[in-house]
Amino acid sequence: MNIFLNTQSGKNKLTPRQIMSDPVLFLAFGFGSGLAKKAPGTFGTLAAIPLYWVFAHADLLVYSLLTLGVTVAGIRICGIAADKLGEHDFGGIVWDEIAGYLITMWLAPFSWQAMTTGFILFRIFDILKPWPIRWLDRQVQGGLGIMIDDVLAAVFAAGVLLLAVEWGWL
């Protein structure tokens, strides 16, 4: 049983080999995690955990700069990927999930409980897209449009995560 796509992606019908060999698509597809047949956003968020692990060992300023860099670069990465695929916000583009998880974890304490809770909260907000996330997702196009809903979902998830920490639940 193969968990990865073995078909072509997007309106331009790019193969997994083309995606994995193109540096921008490789990043946009979360180092290949976006090629998952089912739940590519969840696999993309999972791909963010090792990156978070590395970033979290830096001080807050470095973590902040790295996360900001991943997020700002994501606008361009996702926009180029959408153009190459011929499809806006194709499900396999998961760089926005990577940035979203990093934002979710920005001020959280480093622990497996916080990492797991942050993962779950981010996925809930990203999937359900409560107002105004869904509205932004429908209104904003291009790379910014791909990124903005995940950034806002991450802000919501981070808020809930920080409340859980403040209240002593984590």
Tens of pLDDT along the chain (170 residues) come to: 455 555 767 776 888 899 999 999 999 999 999 999 899 999 999 999 999 999 999 999 999 999 999 999 999 999 999 999 999 889 999 999 999 999 999 999 999 999 999 999 999 999 999 999 899 888 899 999 999 999 999 999 999 999 999 999 98
Q: What is the pLDDT of residue 88?
A: 86
What is the distance between the alpha carbons of residues 150 and 8, in angstroms, rounded to a whole number? 25
* Total domains, the chain: 1
- Residue 10 within any structural domain of the chain: no
The answer to whether 121 and 160 are in contact (CB under 8 A) is yes
- Residue 6 within any structural domain of the chain: no
Domain ranges, residue 117: 16-166
* CB neighbours of residue 137 within 10 Å: 18
- Residue 2 within any structural domain of the chain: no
Q: Name the region of 140 (left: φ>0; alpha: ψ -120 to 50; beta: rest).
A: beta
- Residue 1 within any structural domain of the chain: no
- Residue 110 within any structural domain of the chain: yes
The answer to whether 68 and 35 are in contact (CB under 8 A) is no
